[in-house]
Structure 1
């Protein structure tokens, strides 16, 4: 088992006061072997199965369990709401008991709840299974945050960018597996995919067991228990960042409907458009994240991202009413610009997520961060459907304006947060 020191380094530049790995970090694409690579491998295995499952679970519920479309939507919605409430208390537990073991437990719970889906034959059974899965998934995200922060050390921005690239790649393979299952369209194929997803949770947990156990960091004596919920600057960051994360649904939700309902572009263009986004993230996220270190730099990156989203969405909107070949060309440019914005946003967001949170409470703060993202994903389909799909061109511009406003406000929130904590702009 790889070993890594877990001694405190409260004086590390950058004001993070956290455990710092002593192994050298490669400046190329891959981190050195050890905890960072184990975390990346566990994330790849987990995302591989999760992406395939999310793309097929509505069809499994509808065609295999024989639930109505309304029942499927209600069950998934209830599960999502349940998942939102789990992150903060479990994150607090991870801070006090150590994040590795808590994360492993959440993965094993997800494996069991996934297996239970194979025996679900009613609306109640399906709802309970997906609710437990979402509950454990949100809890695992809160426990994973401290692992990323402490094993990432001074290289958290680069390491988190690497993890995002890995997740995007795994998601692509998972989507391909889902496509094959949908094409086969048999009860057995859907059940095999669910079994495979359960095994990916077990595989991810097996990898994480090889990580060194991290000791909890003691909080200041005068500090209260639920500090993340009382941290107004961080809550403001979560709100703004949650609004900006709606951008991730623009290409996966709004664009396909826009292509089919409002343009003369061929329907097959949806696939290549998503591929452009995926390839750019996989190839460029690490390079983009490498230069985003420190609160001020991250705030500026998010501000640039908001402007890029506005430009990209305005370009995509112009595809309505032009010939099919022109619509394809225009939307390809729009997708590329939007993706540049997503690279800047992800780099800035993930830097601030860890930079603004105290080292001893990364789990609790990760739970708050996850709740913000969860709310955004809950609201995004309805909001984008109303503005971009139903309203049309003006709606694309309004949504882009919302992104600009959130991006412009972020540097002010960073400065506000900096009055009460150390936010060095370099961590040399």
Structure 2
């Protein structure tokens, strides 16, 4: 990235808020589950069930928060989601049994999903001519913040005391609240004007966009490959050294930080986004195949195959993310950005809730054939994406024609204003 920081102004404020927030995300992603299992001493099965419930609850909240951001101002709604998440995270220290844990984690996860949707109008408004590229930049910043948070969480995990874990939870809450405080410097965005008549929830009636949401959700299962399936496969099916788990995550994070913006610059239209989906599907197929081949070979060969697979997977991840940024913004009407991006987040939410179970069942329980099935699923989804993009573009052009036709008829009745001889 030639410019490590955007120009002073709203973009820099959004970047700073995002960076502070993602440090807390890194703390939570690294040691959040360990806090409940090792410090609160909840059974792992209960923690998994509670997180699954929270994942499904969050699916609904994203759409509603996005709609509120469109109609009542995105900055205030987004800041409110951060405050709610900070408070809910702070309540983790009071969750000493299953149901208090479920309530707290549902509130925190729901606020997180709502915040993603509520932030979308801010990215579109302050992202310049290419908000998709600014979104890619924020993803690079996100990975930097998560990496720092993961390093800090390592201290709590290493110490392993109840006090250390509680300090970690407090750190997550403080980071989230600080992110909301930073937003005070961000100028407010005027709510989008309400359109007279017609349905309110237009995103839920946009069938091509819903299809793209579903396809992106299937593709988003790839995020769980490196965090769920590959570590388990490395331990149970290969002779590769276990420290390689950290190595694979580090390589993936460095590639995303260094190249996400560059990868997104070439994706400048929905058509290009569809092509990027197709390439990412092929990359994931190759990556999954290499991971499967790492079983039953010497340690050095397994390590080589796994690292090669991670690099190829990271390239596919760059294309997948860039494609999602492009189609989700370009195919959403500006007046309903929050609502549309809230709907688009449903795909990632389903992948978050169902991805681990699917990958464990296919790749770990079934074994090597399951990796080929998962890779083929990614490849077929990538092949279907360009068709869905073309359908969405046809509908978008038709709707624009219906909107512009009455406008042209009105203008035709007006005097041209030209001087005549």
Q: TM-score, normalised by structure 1?
A: 0.90
Q: Secondary structure at the match of 2:294?
A: coil
Return closer, same or farther for 1:315/1:70 CA change in 2, 3 Å cut-off.
Answer: closer
Separation (CA, whole Å) in 2 of partners of 1:268 and 1:99: 43
Separation (CA, whole Å) in 2 of partners of 1:120 and 1:329: 43
1:378 match: 353
1:197 aligns with 2:152: no
Q: Give yes or no for contact 1:29–1:286 (8 Å, CA) kept in 2.
A: no
Where do 1:360-371 residues align within 5 Å? 360-371=335-346
Q: Secondary structure at the match of 1:420?
A: helix
Q: How many residue pairs end up in the alignment? A: 398
Where do 1:256-275 residues align within 5 Å? 256-275=231-250
Q: Give yes or no for contact 2:132–2:329 (8 Å, CA) kept in 1.
A: no
CA distances 1:315-344 after superposition (whole Å, capped 9, x unpaired): 221111111011111111111111111111
Kindly state the Cα deviation for residue 214 of structure 1 after the two structures are TM-superposed: 0.5
2:328 match: 353
Separation (CA, whole Å) in 2 of partners of 1:246 and 1:49: 23
Q: Secondary structure at the match of 1:298?
A: helix
Alignment partner for residue 95 of structure 2, among 120, 129, 135? 120
- When structure 1 is superposed on structure 2, of 56-65 and 234-243 the one drifting more is 56-65
Kindly state the Cα deviation for residue 64 of structure 1 after the two structures are TM-superposed: 3.0
- When structure 1 is superposed on structure 2, of 304-313 and 71-80 the one drifting more is 71-80
1:294 aligns with 2:269: yes
Separation (CA, whole Å) in 2 of partners of 1:52 and 1:345: 25
1:13 match: none
Please say which structure displays the higher CA radius of gyration: 2
1:402 aligns with 2:373: no
Kindly state the Cα deviation for residue 314 of structure 1 after the two structures are TM-superposed: 1.0
Separation (CA, whole Å) in 2 of partners of 1:75 and 1:312: 31
CA distances 1:8-44 after superposition (whole Å, capped 9, x unpaired): xxxxxxxxxxxxxxxxxx9744321211121111111
Separation (CA, whole Å) in 1 of partners of 2:247 and 2:37: 28
1:343 match: 318
Alignment partner for residue 185 of structure 1, among 160, 163, 167? 160
Where do 1:86-101 residues align within 5 Å? 86-101=61-76
1:55 match: 30
Separation (CA, whole Å) in 2 of partners of 1:398 and 1:346: 22
1:312 aligns with 2:287: yes
- When structure 1 is superposed on structure 2, of 48-57 and 86-95 the one drifting more is 48-57
Separation (CA, whole Å) in 2 of partners of 1:384 and 1:173: 28
CA distances 1:240-282 after superposition (whole Å, capped 9, x unpaired): 0000011111111111111111111111111111111111111
Q: Give yes or no for contact 1:29–1:162 (8 Å, CA) kept in 2.
A: no
2:278 match: 303
Alignment partner for residue 146 of structure 1, among 110, 121, 133? 121
Separation (CA, whole Å) in 1 of partners of 2:101 and 2:224: 25
Separation (CA, whole Å) in 2 of partners of 1:220 and 1:110: 32
2:228 match: 253
1:31 match: 6
1:64 aligns with 2:39: yes
Separation (CA, whole Å) in 1 of partners of 2:290 and 2:167: 42
2:105 match: 130
1:41 aligns with 2:16: yes
Q: Give yes or no for contact 2:288–2:375 (8 Å, CA) kept in 1.
A: yes
Q: Give yes or no for contact 2:133–2:265 (8 Å, CA) kept in 1.
A: yes
Separation (CA, whole Å) in 1 of partners of 2:360 and 2:46: 21
Query: Which structure features the higher share of helix residues?
Result: 2
Q: Secondary structure at the match of 2:129?
A: helix
Separation (CA, whole Å) in 2 of partners of 1:277 and 1:126: 31
Alignment partner for residue 192 of structure 2, among 217, 221, 231? 217
Separation (CA, whole Å) in 2 of partners of 1:108 and 1:62: 26
Separation (CA, whole Å) in 2 of partners of 1:48 and 1:413: 36
**Structure 1 residue ranges (4+ consecutive) displaced by more than 4 angstroms after TM superposition:** none
Gaps of at least 5 residues in structure 1 are 1-25, 424-428
- When structure 1 is superposed on structure 2, of 327-336 and 153-162 the one drifting more is 153-162
1:162 aligns with 2:137: yes
Q: TM-score, normalised by structure 2?
A: 0.91
Q: Give yes or no for contact 1:31–1:159 (8 Å, CA) kept in 2.
A: no
Q: Give yes or no for contact 1:52–1:193 (8 Å, CA) kept in 2.
A: yes
